[in-house]
Structure formats: structure tokens, C-alpha cells
Amino acid sequence: MSGVPARRVLRYAHRGAWSRQPGGPRENTLAAFAAAAGAWDGVEMDVHRTADGRLPVLHDGLLGERPIGTLSWDELHAAAPWVPELHEALRLCRDAGLRVNLEIKAGSDFYPGIEAQVLTAIQRHGWAEATVVSSFDQVALLRVRELDSRIATAVLYAGRVLDPVGVARRCGATGLHPEWQLLRAEDVAVMRNAGMWVATWTARGPAATSRLGALGVDAVIGDPA
């Protein structure tokens, strides 16, 4: 309707506001998260767990050929000193006023007790209201909700799903994070009418963000460059 401002779509920097240019900040680093402050509403980050129970923020489950879960923190940090711990990343985001989309890459079947550790880290910095915990691992999301029903959770998925709202409800999730390519306005309408928070991933550029916002999503998780 003319004269009525459009609903603002939140923008999350995918793995931080890292640069694709040589010499730019690496993804999922404190520098990349700090670079998002002021230009983005929030950041998306990924978390694994080391063999000695630390929570590194990084995307890949392997360092070379070794699974992250078999490495100690000292081994991981010696090979990749730019990788922060979750509590450092959350503290930075809180201080910068950045919302957080925190993806648990794998739940307790791979990293026993990770859900409770993630919640402790979020609560430690008082940033629960600005944090959404997401995962492809629906059992992990169910465990998060069982541990703390106040935390916002979202089901990540790619491709077409027959009943995404039903999937979300079965694991107690409050949101859905579909991949952007196959997302349609009618899908978003069903999700939002069911009371779900909808954020889509991973778009690049203002044109894509504008198009996805027109579908009715609440947020777009976008690559910074």
C-alpha cells in the first residue's frame, strides 16, 4: 500500500563480514564479526567441539584429514590460530550489538553434551534474546529446547521439504531456515502463518536480499562479497 513503509528484513553476515579479496579477514573469525558491526544486523557463525571440550567457531568439520572432534584445543589453535572460541565470539557480538545466528554443526551424537555447552556460553554473556540456535541436526535442536525452552531455535534445510512446519514443531523449533534458491512466496506465507521465524541462506548482494525480502522472510543470511 502506498505510503506504508515495507517491513525491514534483517541482514546477517554469513560467517561474519569477511572479504573474498586477498588479505581480507578470514571467515568465522573475530575480525570478520567485528567488521560486520554497523553494516549488518547480525552475524551467522558455526560451532564444533574439540576432544577436550572447547567450542571452536569454524565451519568445516575437518582440519586437513583430522576431524575437529579428535583434536585438542591446543592442536587446533596451533594449526589455525585465527579460530576463536564461542564465548569470545559471543562476547564480541554482544558488545557490538550484533544479533547472532549460531549453527550447531553436529549435536550430541558427535559431540556429547554440546547443546548444554552452547547454552551455557549464550547465557554467560546475556545474549539469549538476540541469539537463534540453528542446525540441520533436528535432534540437537530438540535437546536445546528441552534444556531451555526460552531459546529460539530454527531448522536448517536445503531443497524442498514436504512439511517444514511439521518438522519444526516436532523438534520444538520456533523458526525455519530454508535454502534460498527454491524458496517461494507461498512457502513463506505458510511458515509465517504458523508463527515461524523465517530466515533464508545464503544470498549475495542487495538485489538478492531485496527479492527475498519481497517473499516475506524475516531475515536473509548473506555472503558479504
Domain covering 10-223: architecture: Alpha-Beta Barrel (3.20)
pLDDT reported for residue 223: 87
pLDDT reported for residue 96: 97
Q: Which residue has the cell 559431540?
A: 111
d(C-alpha 140, C-alpha 131), whole Å: 16
The per-residue b/e assignment along 95-126, b for 16 or more CB within 10 angstroms, e otherwise, is ebebbbbbbbbbbbebbeebbebbbebbeebe
d(C-alpha 203, C-alpha 180), whole Å: 7
In the predicted structure, residue 3 carries a pLDDT above the cut 50: no
pLDDT reported for residue 205: 80
In the predicted structure, residue 131 carries a pLDDT above the cut 50: yes
Let me know the angle formed at the C-alpha of 161 by 160 and 165, rounded to the nearest 5 degrees: 135
Strands 62-63 and 66-67: antiparallel
pLDDT reported for residue 7: 66
Is residue 148 packed enough to be buried (19+ CB in 10 Å), middle (13-18) or exposed (0-12)?
Answer: middle
The residue-averaged pLDDT of 42-53 equals: 98
The residue-averaged pLDDT of 168-179 equals: 97
Q: What percentage of the chain reaches a pLDDT higher than 70?
A: 95
